[in-house]
């Protein structure tokens, strides 16, 4: 599982090539698997697939936070209730879908910044929002300098040290990398996040793993949804995949007893079967 998660990366430059019939079928099957799926916090995610880059007909489509996506062949858009836990459920399900696409050797990139959400008004009802979309296609391995600059700008290949993200019993005690759950936390450490902020902090207390959000001040003032709640859902996706891989039974809830910690916002907990 760690190899798959490490293999996945954000791709903004695609080959000018349509999906093969086999891959197109696989994409549609994956979307069908996750469409209208309910997350741990009872929010359903609506997914829609667009076989053409309908936002315009140019080869360079300006839809992402970091500028141009080159040769977008098709897109997946998701819609959910615009709330904190709606975003958590969204991040969890959308990342599961993206990892399934990665397993099929298809490239993607989370786009949540500056694309025109009015394009997706037909999907958004009531308090719903389309927080992110992703192109799907084949990576152009001869990346442009622009793509390399973007990856360097967001420190895409860097991750915070293990001891700064995971803790045992209290924030004064970093979790040992020899801990039985350390391989699962390594999956979380490699989770993607907006601007690669890695805002999750995990506290282990006996059979409980509490997820806290370390917010970046004023980070989302320009956005109409909680992008760092999506990041928490992505982290949960990676952790749950590790639990399932290890056949560890678990329960996810935001009702478990937790500890108020300075500068951290409690999100949810995962209770592990003893």
Residue 58: pLDDT over 60: no
Q: Which of 83, 75, 79 is nearest to 51 (CA)?
A: 75
252 within some domain: yes
Q: Confirm whether 152 is domain-assigned.
A: no
**pLDDT at residue 115 greater than cutoff 80:** no
Q: Looking at residues 78-84, what average pLDDT do you find?
A: 97
Position 145 pLDDT exceeds 70: no
210 and 247 in a common domain: yes
Residue 193 covered by a domain: yes
- Domain membership of residue 156 (yes or no) is no
DSSP the chain: -HHHHHH--B--BB-S-PPPHHHHHHHHHHHHHHTTEE-TTS-EEEEEEESS-TT-SSSEEEEETTEEEES--EEEEEEEESSHHHHHHHHHHHHHHHHHHHHTT-BB--B-SSS-GGGGTTT--TTEE---EEEEB-B-SS--HHHHHHHHHTTTT----GGGTEEESEEEEEPPTTSTTHHHHHHHHT---GGG---EEEEEETTEEEEEE-PPTTTTTT-SS-HHHHHHHHHHHHHHHHHHHTT--EEEES-S-----TT-EEEEEEEEP-
Together in a domain, 179 and 233: yes
What number is the average pLDDT over the span 46-64? 63
Determine the distance from the C-alpha atom of residue 25 to the mean position of all C-alpha atoms in its chain, rounded to a whole number.
23
Residue-range definition of the domain harbouring residue 252:
162-272
pLDDT of the residue at 118: 79
Residue range 105-113: average pLDDT? 91
Query: What's the alpha-carbon Rg for the chain, to the nearest Å?
Result: 18
CA atoms within 13 A on the CB side of 1: 20
Last residue of a domain, one of 89, 121, 147: 147
pLDDT of 116 reads 73
Q: Is residue 200 a part of any domain in this protein?
A: yes
Does residue 155 sit within a domain? Answer: no
Assess contact for 139 and 16: CB atoms under 8 A.
Answer: no
Q: pLDDT-based confidence at 114, cuts 50/70/90?
A: low
236 and 177, same structural domain? yes
pLDDT for residue 246 is more than 70: yes
Model confidence band, residue 142 (pLDDT cutoffs 50, 70, 90): confident
- Do 188 and 233 lie in a common domain? yes
Q: Which of 52-56, 72-76, 86-90, 234-238 has the lowest mean pLDDT?
A: 52-56
- pLDDT given for residue 154 in this prediction: 47
Looking at the structure, do residues 182 and 142 belong to the same domain, yes or no? Answer: no
The packing angle between helices 84-103 and 227-245, to 10°, is 50
Same domain, 184 and 78: no
Alpha-carbon torsion angle 266, 156, 72, 51, nearest 10: -40
CATH label of the domain that carries residue 246: 3.40.109.30
Say whether both 101 and 205 belong to one domain: no
Mean pLDDT score, 40-48: 97
pLDDT of residue 73: 81
Top pLDDT among 268 and 220 is at 268
Indicate whether 208 and 179 sit together in one domain.
yes
> Which of 123, 147, 171 marks a domain boundary?
147
Rounded Cα distance between 258 and 26, Å, is: 41
Where among 78, 112, 147 does a domain terminate? 147
Could you tell me if 116 and 13 lie in one domain?
A: yes
Would you say 136 and 78 are in contact if contact means Cβ atoms under 8 Å apart? no
Based on the domain organization, do 46 and 131 belong to the same domain?
yes
Same domain, 11 and 128: yes
* Angle, CA of 44, 218 and 124, to the nearest 5°: 25
Residue 176 confidence (pLDDT)? 94
- Together in a domain, 199 and 223: yes
In a domain, 153, yes or no: no
Q: How many domains does the chain have?
A: 2
Token pair for 234 = 């992505």
Quick one: pLDDT at residue 121? 86
Residue 144 scores a pLDDT above 80: no
Query: Which CATH number covers residue 20?
Result: 3.40.109.10
Is 157 among the domain residues? no
The helix-helix angle for 182-189 and 227-245 (nearest 10°) equals 150
Q: What is the pTM of this model?
A: 0.90
């Amino acid at each position: 599982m760690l190899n798959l998660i490490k293999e996945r990366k954000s791709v903004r430059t695609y080959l000018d090539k349509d999906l093969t019939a086999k891959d197109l079928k696989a994409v549609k099957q994956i979307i069908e698997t996750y469409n209208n799926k309910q997350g741990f916090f009872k929010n359903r995610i609506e997914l829609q697939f667009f076989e053409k880059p309908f936002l315009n007909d140019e080869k360079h489509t300006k839809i992402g936070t970091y500028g141009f996506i080159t040769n977008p062949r098709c897109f997946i858009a998701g819609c959910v209730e615009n709330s904190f836990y709606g975003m958590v459920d969204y991040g969890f399900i959308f990342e599961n879908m993206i990892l399934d696409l990665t397993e099929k050797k298809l490239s993607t990139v989370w786009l949540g910044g500056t694309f025109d959400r009015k394009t997706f008004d037909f999907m958004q009802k009531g308090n719903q929002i389309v927080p992110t979309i992703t192109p799907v296609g084949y990576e152009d391995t001869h990346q442009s300098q622009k793509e390399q600059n973007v990856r360097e700008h967001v420190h895409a290949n860097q991750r915070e040290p293990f001891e700064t993200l995971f803790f045992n019993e209290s924030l004064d005690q970093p979790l040992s990398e020899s801990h039985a759950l350390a391989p699962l936390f390594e999956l979380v450490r490699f989770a993607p996040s907006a601007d690669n902020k890695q805002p999750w902090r995990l506290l282990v207390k006996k059979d409980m793993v509490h997820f806290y959000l370390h917010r970046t001040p004023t980070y989302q003032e320009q956005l109409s949804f909680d992008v760092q709640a999506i990041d928490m859902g992505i982290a949960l996706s990676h952790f749950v995949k590790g639990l399932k891989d290890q056949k560890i039974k678990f329960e996810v809830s935001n009702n478990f007893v937790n500890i108020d910690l300075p500068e951290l916002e409690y999100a949810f907990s995962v209770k592990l079967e003893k």
